[in-house]
Chain A
Amino acid sequence: MAQVSAQQDDASHEMGMHTEQLSGRTQQVFFNLDEEGGFAYPDSFEVDFNKRAELDASNMGPKEVNAGIRELMKEGNGTIVLKNPGAKHSIGVGILNKLNLIIEGSLGYFGCGLVDGPNIRISGRVGWSCAENMMAGSVVIEKNAGSTFGAALRGGDLVCKGSVGSRTGIDMKGGNIIVGGDTGAFSGFMMQRGRMVVCGNAGKNLGDSMYDGTIYIGGKIADLGVDAVPGELTDLDKQWLTRKLKMYEILPEKGVDHFTKIVAGKQLWNYDNLEPTEKKLIL
């Protein structure tokens, strides 16, 4: 392992990664507006949604399952059905590809984390931190989910048709978390961006210390956390909510007019101190 690290370290030095190689160079050379294609990451697998394969996880460990999914994508399968996942942890993680992944059963902790692009359907339940750090795509869970659902979510749609535990969407930085049932305490804690929709009730300290983003609650709110304040539900909000909830077949019969919108009071804003440190790239 140490040898691999040393080789990587050498490679990164040879490639100039440690010498600010971007300084003094314009990014315009990297970028051509008329460039054709470009719908997938350069090193992703070419898969066809109509090519389907099955994987039985009964006698496999999480590493083998994830390697198996990768191997099937390598063979061009765009639809993969995972059978008997057995609530194993860390299944379906790190998929940076377009893919339809159908999981027949339940997942343990950290299922479908760090994904960027796939559409995943899970027929059972999921444990803690499902889809944490998800970048893009969709994950739809038919039953209930554990705590820290969608922790640090960055993009995409994370949907649970049942109820979820506490600290849902903790530190989320984008994307949408949609819950058909109820959510527990401290949901939206330190939320920075994105949207959370809960059709049922919300537990204590909703949106505690949220910096930005929007929370929509269809039921009762036990109480609001620090710096979480009610906002005005606009027609645009209603249109968006209706479209999204219809898309995942959980639009309440009475519509969305009764939803409460919660936003940040912005008393905790501290972006100003962070911004000057951001690296700027000029085209």
Chain B
Amino acid sequence: MANDNDVDKFIKGDGLDSEREKTIGQHIGYRYDVNLLPDYERLTPFLKNYLEFMGWDDLNWLEDIHMGYEDGRPAVFDRNINGWVGIPTDVELPDNQQDRDMMARELLIKFQMSPKHPMVQLNKAYRKF
């Protein structure tokens, strides 16, 4: 198993640490520090523009967004579809969790705001007014 302090722990290893994970044969995505606070010096240009657009002084709800690792692949959890969204394989990952979290936040915004997001179709089908 990879080192606990290794940022690539869940990519290099199988991520199956707990008894439950071994039983189900699946890494549980929440097993990283969900309370990790963001380093604002690492904001990406996209995120800076997004915050200005929304009129927010900080990352607001995006403070709770982190890059997770699902099935040995980097991913970000999208609450709007209640599912993990994998990071495209051709994206090079930074070597630290803070920068990875910023990347996850940027990708999630781009995904959620895309007209091709699954919620757009659901909205058309179910909205009441």
**Chain A residues proximal to chain B, CB less than 8 Å:** 4, 8, 11-12, 15, 17, 22, 27-33, 35, 37-43, 49, 98, 100, 117, 119, 135-138, 154-157, 174-176, 193-195, 212-214, 236-237, 239-240, 243-244, 247, 271-273, 275-276, 278-283
* Known contacts A31-B110, A135-B61, A272-B18; A98/B54 CB under 8 A: yes
CB closest residue in chain A, given B36:
A236
Q: Chain B: how many interface residues by the 8 Å CB criterion?
A: 57
Known: A31-B111, A31-B114. A280 touches B71 (CB 8 A): yes
- How many inter-chain contacts with C-beta < 8 Å in the A-B complex? 144
A194–B29 Cα distance when bound, in Å, is: 17
Q: When each residue 43-87 of chain B gets 1 if its CB lies under 8 Å from chain A and 0 otherwise, what string results?
A: 000000110011111101101100000110100001101111111
Indicate if the CB atoms of B83 and A98 lie closer than 8 Å. Answer: no
Q: Are B84 and A278 in contact (CB under 8 A)?
A: yes
Shortest distance from the beta carbon of A176 to any chain B beta carbon, whole Å: 8
Chain A residues with CB under 8 Å of B116's CB are 29-31
| Minimal Cβ-Cβ distance residue in A for B49 | A39
What's the Cα separation between A84 and B13 when bound, in Å? 60
Given contacts A49-B55, A98-B54, contact A28 B88 (CB under 8 A): yes
B28 interface hit (Cβ, 8 Å): yes
A245 to B108, CA, bound (A): 27
B29 to chain A, nearest CB (A): 7
With a cutoff of 8 Å between Cβ atoms, the chain A residues found around residue B30 in the complex are: 271, 275
The one of A12, A43, A275 in contact with B29, judged by C-beta atoms closer than 8 angstroms, is A275
User: Given known contacts A33-B88, A138-B56, A275-B26, is B113 in contact with A40 (CB within 8 Å)?
Assistant: yes
The 9 A-B residue pairs with the shortest CB-CB distance, nearest first, are A155-B61, A283-B86, A272-B20, A38-B113, A136-B61, A12-B125, A30-B116, A279-B83, A39-B53
Q: A39-B53, A42-B114, A98-B55 are in contact. List 15 more A-B contacts (CB 8 A).
A: A8-B125, A11-B124, A17-B121, A30-B117, A39-B54, A42-B120, A117-B54, A138-B56, A244-B58, A247-B57, A272-B24, A273-B20, A276-B24, A276-B26, A281-B78
Q: How far is the CA of A39 from the CA of B26 in the complex (A)?
A: 34
Q: List A contacts of B53 (CB < 8 A).
A: 39-40, 98
Choose from A12, A15, A40, A119 the contact partner of B56 (Cβ within 8 Å). A119
> Closest Cβ of chain B: how far from A51's Cβ, in Å?
13
Please report the C-alpha to C-alpha distance between residue A133 and residue B82 in the assembled complex, in whole angstroms. 15
- Inter-chain CA distance A227–B29, complex, in Å, is 23
Q: Considering the chains assembled together, what is the distance between the CA atoms of A282 and B102 in angstroms?
A: 20
Are A283 and B54 touching (Cβ within 8 A)? no
Q: How far is the CA of A11 from the CA of B53 in the complex (A)?
A: 34
Question: Are B118 and A22 in contact, CB atoms less than 8 angstroms apart?
Answer: yes
Name the distance in Å between A232's Cβ and chain B's nearest Cβ.
12
Q: In the complex the two chains form, is A175's CB within 8 Å of B109's CB?
A: no
Partner of A272, one of B28, B55, B60, B128: B28
Q: How far is the CA of A283 from the CA of B104 in the complex (A)?
A: 14
Q: Which residue of B lies closest to A213 (CB)?
A: B35
Considering the complex, give the chain A residue whose CB is closest to the CB of B118: A22
Contact: B56 with A279, CB < 8 Å? Answer: no
- CB-CB < 8 A to A174: which residues of B? 61, 64
A-B contact pairs, 8 of them (CB 8 A): A8-B128, A17-B125, A39-B49, A39-B54, A136-B60, A212-B34, A271-B30, A282-B73
Residues of B within 8 A of A43 (CB): 120, 123
Query: B24 → chain A, closest Cβ, in Å?
Result: 5
Residues of A within 8 A of B97 (CB): none
